[in-house]
Amino acid sequence: MTSNGVVVDEAVRAAWDSYRILEKRTSEEERRQAQQRVQAAMVTYGRDEVSRGTVFLVGVLTAHIIGQQDGGGADRLDPLSDLIPAVIRKLPSFELADPAQVPMVTGVLMAAAMGMNTVAWRDQFGTIPPKEALAHNFVLWLLADLFDSLVEQPSATDLLMRETFNSMTAEPG
């Protein structure tokens, strides 16, 4: 296990695979492979570490969405009055989303919007229970969908994440 808000690379990749499992544009074969990678990461690093990876990615995507709009015009999303409420309002569209998890996922989004380390912020409350982890997965999907909509390119977020992971693999250790 890690501390101080640091998340294992493979756990972050598995967290993104959780998004790919939810994404309807993912082919059946890719979805099956993503499920296998998530299961393997949970065995190797633990469910909590993969959940922390999802919290990390929520922070990264939130910062990316906010950063994409710097210097934007009147249609710019304000993180506190537009972005976070838009994501939270859509959360109930996921049948398995537990409403009791909304305060914690909102807190993670707020921490991200304020430029804080989301993993370190969330870690102060202990381990992430399964129902909360699932809610973070839904939030990750909603953020990716929002970013894709903002740039008007379906799967833009998935492409960005794949390129990032590929460049991390190509870097010498």
pLDDT tens per residue across span 100-145: 999 999 999 999 999 999 999 999 999 999 999 999 999 999 999 9
Calculate mean pLDDT across residues 138-157.
Answer: 93
Phi, psi of 172 (to 5 degrees): -70, 140
Specify the pLDDT at position 3: 44
pLDDT at 67: 82
Main-chain phi, psi angles of 124, to 5 degrees:
-65, -15
For 163, residues 6+ apart whose C-beta sits below 8 A from its C-beta are: none
- In terms of pTM, does the model score above 0.85? yes
